[in-house]
Amino acid sequence: MLRLPYFAFLLLLISSSVQAHFSIDKSRLYFDRDNRFQTLTIRNNSDEPIVYSVKINHVDMTEDGRILPVADEGKVEKSARSLVRYSPRSGSILPGGSQILRFTIKKPPGLENGEYRSQLRIEGALQNDPQMMAAKIVYNLPIIVRHGQTSAKASMDSFKIVKNQKGEDELHLMLKRSGNRSTFGAFTVINGEGDIIGQTKGVSVYEPLEKRLVKVPLNGKAIGEITVNYEELVDYGGDIKMTRKFSAK
């Protein structure tokens, strides 16, 4: 089963026992001029039928990386919901079976350049549990649609090594973004002895948010001059690379 650990909003789980039986094969849907069609597969790995439903809504990101629902989606200026066509929107999957969801983009004339974003929400439950009391799972993943000329710049600063609630070291930094699109990339942390002591993938700063706190768990000694590398993921339209150094205290 695909693990999706890099989005704060990616998984709401009521029954962990069902998680192993109901899975999806993507962590986000990305569309641009060269990618106008996408598919997503839902798999039922269990020995019972599963029912599912799919919808699109909108969420916003806070500076501490939390994902929160939007109270009035009618006021969202660049929602992707009106641009995305998809099917099926609900159904059932037999034991051991799968269902392919198909997505395409339809843009109206005169659409403003920029990035349009929403969230895909997939809910599933055991078919024989109509009240969904014991077995419900929800996957949420971003939908990104880029139209026309889009660009972004990024920087990072405010490096600090702190102890988390478990007493383990974490690197905290502020990732800043500007431009008319989101950023989405990975961090690698290297200590003064050349050892990789921390890595994290899939860190987003969603437009229009200008900055967010990033926490990178460390699994080695933070000594000497620390190097922090950041690289956007090319598969999702990224082109930003940067390196910063700071002295560990």
Strand partners, 55: 121
Buried b (16+ CB within 10 A) or exposed e, 119-139: bbbbbbbbbebeeeeebbbeb
pLDDT at 132 exceeding the cut of 60:
no
The CA-atom distances, in angstroms, between 128 and each of 12, 49, 98, 191 are 21, 8, 18, 53
Tell me: cis bond preceding 208? Omega within 30 of 0 counts.
yes
Question: Amino acid letter at 201?
Answer: K
When comparing pLDDT for 9 and 172, which is higher? 172
Q: How confident is the model at residue 136 (pLDDT cuts 50, 70, 90)?
A: confident
pLDDT for the residue 7: 38
- Minimal CA–CA distance to 84: which of 37, 42, 124? 37
User: Which tokens is 33 given?
Assistant: 């001029």
Quote the pTM value.
Answer: 0.85
